[in-house]
Amino acid sequence: MPLRSPNLGERPDLGSIGSVTSTAHPGSHPSAGPRPLPDAIAAIDIGTNSIHMLIARVASNGRFEVITKQKEMVRLGSGRGEMKLLEPAAIDRGVAALARCRSLADSFEAPVYAVATSAVREALNAEEFLERALQEAGVEVQVISGFEEARLILLGVLQALPVFDKHLALIDVGGGSTEILFGYKGSVSYGRSVKLGSLRMTNRFFPGGAVHGKAVEECRDYVRGRLAPLAHEVAQLSQEVAIASSGTAEAIATMIFARRSEHAPQQLNASKVTIEEISEIVDLLASVESPEERRKLDGIDAARADILIGGAIVLEQACMAIGATEIVISEFALREGVLLDALHRIGGGTLHHLSDLRRTSVFHLMELCDDDPEHSLQVARLSLQLHDALAVDLGLGDEERELLEAAALLSNV
């Protein structure tokens, strides 16, 4: 059973809310007050499979207009094993890509905000990569938790689709992990980061991208099993719309449009595909043994031909786990969320109430000092149930509720 916050529905491995660090303002802090907005800003997403950078022009109202994008398939998570070590060649590729990103950002005089996810988060030698990124590429990288990753993805998605007032489910299939969350009006009601991704599944079931024997069904069974607890947990959660973000989802949607004999729209954003169509893509990819032959399939992203089957299986099974029959594609995801989060911090604003920041600090302390956090979470759940039942009679408000929650979460500390 996962550790879950009474309010956020997530295990307490939370990253600091707003843990985005600018290389242009070392030592800056969200409470430092408003600063003049730069003319442009760069956000970098360092994933397991690729490094993405978005450079945007900043408007006076805090909105942004994309100037340029850069993407490099660096495969930080390549190699054998469960991604416990970043291989030397992968580190070299990643640092070189970041140096190119830094150079492009400098040409626009854009401060850089960079975050790293699954591959760096899990690597035992992550410090080597982070140090080289800073010293050789001039990019200070913040490693974010699975929950912070999901929060920033949601922030990006809410700028792409008119779903703020809908109960939504969101799936983001990355190279090393998949983030699944449920939310409403900008708040995360349930979030989970699962170690399932396109590159991770390829390394495990389809070495070199080749499909042999029963590998597809073995992969499906494995992913289904890993998602089974999540499927049980979200069964009763409200869901008006299911959304998929990430390059994997976009690549699959493009192939689906090709099978429909339709030209993929110039923008995939807000397009819809069904779970049946996703399963058909899995079967199509599985019918072609080698990546070389797979690159000939209509609509396929050639750069993903060797790893797409792993990602397609994860997306298929994730849709089934949350009970989605149709998904809406979002072209905005993590890097847009990083950019928006940074904009608010530069301007001295915040996308979160102070209570959110305090709650995250409480979770950090519990994670560090509590040897039985699941018990503390249960105490907090029961305490809040009692508070909500008695609040009117006792004249209790939000401040008392927040203090009670913090006391319960730290009851074992």
Instruction: Quote the percentage of the chain above a pLDDT of 90.
Output: 61
Q: Is residue 328 within 8 Å of 318, Cβ to Cβ?
A: no
Q: Is residue 302 within 8 Å of 247, Cβ to Cβ?
A: no
| Range list of β-strands (E), 27-63 | 40-46, 51-58
> Does the pLDDT at position 2 exceed 50?
no
Give me the pLDDT at residue 110, please: 96
**Cα–Cα distance, 26 to 216 (Å, whole number):** 47
Q: 198-205 and 308-322 helices cross at what angle (nearest 10)?
A: 110
> Does the pLDDT at position 224 exceed 90?
yes
Q: What is the mean pLDDT of residues 196-204?
A: 94
Write out pLDDT tens, residues 141-173: 999 888 888 889 999 999 899 999 999 999 999
- 49 phi-psi bin (left φ>0, alpha ψ -120 to 50, beta other): alpha
Class of the CATH-defined domain 161-335? alpha beta
Q: What is the mean pLDDT of residues 228-254?
A: 95
Q: What is the mean pLDDT of residues 38-61?
A: 90
**Cα–Cα distance, 286 to 209 (Å, whole number):** 10
Confidence at 231, pLDDT banded by 50, 70, 90 = very high
User: Which residues are registered as beta bridge partners of 171?
Assistant: 180, 244
**Cα–Cα distance, 176 to 76 (Å, whole number):** 10
Give me the pLDDT at residue 180, please: 96
Averaged pLDDT of the chain: 85
- Give the single-character DSSP code of 38: P
The alpha carbon of 393 is separated from its chain's Cα centroid by a whole number of angstroms, namely: 42
Indicate the SS3 state at residue 368. helix
| Range list of β-strands (E), 174-212 | 178-184, 187-194
Give me the pLDDT at residue 55, please: 97
Give me the pLDDT at residue 8, please: 31
Q: Which two tokens stand for residue 343?
A: 């904009």
| Range list of β-strands (E), 139-266 | 141-143, 168-173, 178-184, 187-194, 241-245
Confidence at 4, pLDDT banded by 50, 70, 90 = very low
> Does the pLDDT at position 348 exceed 60?
no
**Cα–Cα distance, 175 to 52 (Å, whole number):** 13
Write out pLDDT tens, residues 262-316: 776 778 999 999 999 999 999 999 999 999 999 999 999 999 999 999 999 999 9
Give me the pLDDT at residue 358, please: 64
* The residue type at 1: M
Give residue limits of the domains in the chain: 161-335, 354-409
**Cα–Cα distance, 192 to 174 (Å, whole number):** 13
> Does the pLDDT at position 343 exceed 60?
yes
